[in-house]
Chain A
Amino acid sequence: MSEANTQAVEKYRNNFLKEVEERVEEGEWVKMCMQCGVCSGSCPFGPHWAHPPQEIFMMIRAGKRDEVLTSDSMWMCTSCYNCIVRCPRKLPITHIMHGLANYAHRLGLAPKGQPTREFGKMFWNNLVATGRVNELKLSLSLYFKDGFSQGIKNAMAMKDVGLGMLKAKRLNPFELFSPHGCKDRKGIHAMLKKAREIEDRRKHLTS
């Protein structure tokens, strides 16, 4: 079967919905959406998404796997929870959005260079390194993600904030050179590994 045909066959079938139910955090809720659109209307970032949540849910049910997983829409969620409190079906929409983003990321389908995703990766790597977030390093890597000269510009723009934090002892420049981590760095790594194993088992993923 050609790819186009395969895609046609998948349309409006359970396959992708089932995949989402099994592998996406809170994915089993997607089928309960009744397309009222209150989530889409409630989202403060709504105008900036290609596909609002309710449409994403319909796309999942229509079997539009690639369009959903390569979309940047779910990366736009800022976790304001407006949608969750208003959803008449009590769908945990915020969590589903993050779940979908995470799943797309793990499959490598998430849009490259999507800023939320880039930041997420940075944050995670920063955190995992020592078991604690190094805010200075995180800020700097964020400023410099688009090259050196842009990084200088970003840093200069934020310099007043930085100096203020320095004065208030909320920022320690030495963290750049000798970051302090948690007591049992190995233990943290082992925990995270185990957690991933459990999640993968639960979500039927092998990575």
Chain B
Amino acid sequence: MTEVVATNETILVVGGGISGMTAALEAAECGKDVVLVEKNSHLGGRVSMLYRYFPKMCHPSCGLEINLRRIKGNRRIRVLTMAEVTGISGSAGDYTASVKISPRFVNEKCTACGACTDAVETEVPNPFNYNLNKVKAAYLPSAMAYPQRYVLDPSLVGTAEGEKAKAACKYDAIDLGMQEETVQFKAGAVVWATGWQPYDAAKIQPYGYDRFDNVITSVEFERLADPHGPTGGKIQRPSDGREAKNVAFIQCAGSRDENHLRHCSRICCMASLKQTNYVREAYGDEGNSTVYYIDIRAIDRFEDFYQKVKADPNVAFVKSKVAKIVEDEKTKDVILHGVDTEGYHRYANQHDLVVLAVGMEPSVKGANIPAEIVADSSGFIEADPANGGLFGAGCASNPLDVNRAVQSATASALRAIQVINRVARVEG
């Protein structure tokens, strides 16, 4: 049974992505006790699945390493993984949280030696790579995974293979009898940092994401470029594994669209500009990118990055929302139809691969948060006094880039501390 020691001077942080980790760390490094609850088997969230950041083209795993070291060295943070908050009751300074913990079937004795992986054959889709490849059913979720502890897929439980995995572990770390459990504990304030998910691209019917192999999303493209990804960092077409040298990027795939997401997702323009760099990195002068856009939203210093990409002769910009995509049945090439609105030019452009710059929606939309909380029409948490001691942070509160998400998380840590310090003053 998992035990969580917490009081109404504890801060509950929901979500272990970069926003949640930041909020937890900033508060803990101020001397506050934090319980950090993460749904996945490891911390890091969405950014850990990115290859590089714009505009510096540095790697998210670098910052993740620093944050993980901070967490490892800080005893004030209690991390619960495979855990979901199912209910929050009470009021500011006096909340009770219910957290459902799913069985990992691997306990804290795991040394990450990998013997269980070697013992099993079954493979399951790999969520870390958006299911673009498979992993063994006993696996370490990613090379940077923290806690550095393996996970057993539930499908192994009750099978001979599960027993084999258990037998392979010399350290008694595999517990096939592990059950789902629910724990309850106190918290004075809650930072809700559950982040974002990519908009379901299949809903954008004319783009054929569900019909054409060579139409993928921007988050999947990140995995293709990443050396830890399903292709070992090679940018290949899903249909035939051929090199994708002529890549189209479609902006506002779901965003700024009353049929899909009303808001602008802010990051997608910069993300596509960054991804044109991946094409160049992979194929040099043989790689070509075309960005189809409505407005390029490269705000503040990001403008420099836009200008640099614009100066690349292998990157073309077309001011147009693409009308539809058709697939060449023989070559599986994708043909984009639309009109360049700057001066009205009609096009039917053939590409190897199309990347949809999918919009950002909250992973947990306001109405689905198991607490009383005010959210806007897109489901992002608003800063409202009625929320009491509950504070949105990062992309749960607004579509934000990493930098702004961290600012938001830092701010929310202070808001939580304000509640905690009030409680502490009252309780003397």
Contacts and interface: CB of A to CB of B under 8 A. Distances in A.
A and B touch in the complex (CB under 8 A): yes
B324 A42 contact: yes
Contacts of B252: 36, 88
Contacts of B294: 34-36
Given A46-B339, A52-B339, A86-B206, A38 B346 contact: no
Nearest to A85: B259
Interface in A84-98: 85-86, 88-90
Contact of B338 (A37, A51, A82): A37
Interface in A45-86: 46-47, 51-52, 54-55, 82, 85-86
A40 B257 contact: no
A166 B337 CA distance: 43
A162 B319 CA distance: 49
Given A37-B338, A37-B340, A42 B256 contact: no
A86 B339 CA distance: 14
Contacts of A38: 320-323, 338
Interface in B181-235: 206
A41 B322 contact: yes
Given A52-B344, A86-B206, A37 B259 contact: no
Nearest to B258: A90
From DSSP, what is the main secondary structure of chain B's interface residues? loop
Given A34-B294, A52-B344, A41 B338 contact: yes
A47 B256 contact: no
A137 B31 CA distance: 90
Interface string B316-344: 00011111100000000000011111001
A44 to B, nearest CB: 10
B344 A89 contact: no
Contacts of B322: 38, 41
A125 B346 CA distance: 37
Contact of B259 (A42, A54, A88): A88
Contacts, number: 65
Given A42-B324, A90-B259, A35 B341 contact: yes
Contact of B319 (A37, A47, A55): A37
Contacts of A89: 258
A41 B323 contact: yes
B346 A88 contact: no
B341 A40 contact: yes
Contact of B344 (A36, A55, A86, A88): A55
Most buried by B among A41, A47, A55, A85: A41
A55 B346 CA distance: 13
Contact of B258 (A40, A51, A88): A88
Contacts of B340: 37
A88 B320 CA distance: 13
Nearest to A40: B339
Interface in B339-369: 339-341, 344, 346
Interface string A109-151: 0000000000000000000000000000000000000000000
A40 B344 contact: yes
A36 B320 contact: yes
B258 A41 contact: no
Given A34-B294, A37-B341, A86 B323 contact: yes
Contacts of B341: 35-37, 40, 54-55
Interface in A15-54: 34-38, 40-42, 46-47, 51-52, 54
A175 to B, nearest CB: 43
A42 B322 CA distance: 9
A52 B258 CA distance: 21
A47 B346 contact: yes
Contacts of B346: 40-41, 46-47
A195 to B, nearest CB: 31
B273 to A, nearest CB: 19
Contacts of B324: 41-42
A88 B321 contact: yes
B337 A41 contact: yes
Contacts of A86: 206, 259, 323
Contacts of B337: 41
Contacts of A85: 259
Given A38-B321, A88-B257, A89-B258, 17 more contacts: A34-B256, A35-B341, A36-B252, A36-B294, A36-B321, A37-B320, A37-B323, A38-B320, A40-B338, A40-B341, A41-B346, A51-B344, A52-B339, A52-B344, A55-B341, A88-B259, A88-B321
13 contacts: A37-B320, A40-B338, A41-B323, A41-B338, A42-B206, A42-B323, A42-B324, A46-B339, A46-B346, A52-B344, A88-B257, A88-B259, A90-B258
Which 7 residue pairs spanning A and B have beta carbons closest together?
A: A41-B323, A41-B338, A36-B321, A88-B257, A37-B341, A40-B339, A38-B321
